[in-house]
Amino acid sequence: MGGYAEAVRERVRLARVAVAEAREAADPYAPAVAEDDLDDALRLASSVDVDPDGGPGNASPV
């Protein structure tokens, strides 16, 4: 699952950047939209057992 796990981690990373940028924006709705995207990315990572902050491998050893 190496390539897929890395893609999931990258999606989470980009979503976190978007949340940080949205919080600095003048648009009051931008943070909510960015946080929803982050929630989706984290939910995806959890559903496929990928640690979004980890290195190679799964979130929990089996």
Domains in the chain, number: 1
The pLDDT of residue 60 is 43
User: Is 24 a member of any domain?
Assistant: yes
User: Is 61 a member of any domain?
Assistant: no
Task: Give the mean model confidence (pLDDT) for residues 28-57.
Answer: 92
Task: Give the mean model confidence (pLDDT) for residues 9-32.
Answer: 95
Q: Band of the pLDDT at 1, cuts 50, 70, 90?
A: low
Percent over 70 (pLDDT), the chain: 85
Residues 6+ apart with CB under 8 A from 16: 38
Model pTM score: 0.81
User: Is 10 a member of any domain?
Assistant: yes
Asked if 12 and 52 touch (Cβ cutoff 8 Å), the reply is: yes
The pLDDT of residue 59 is 45
Residue 32: both structure tokens together:
């909510």
User: Is 53 a member of any domain?
Assistant: no
The pLDDT of residue 23 is 94
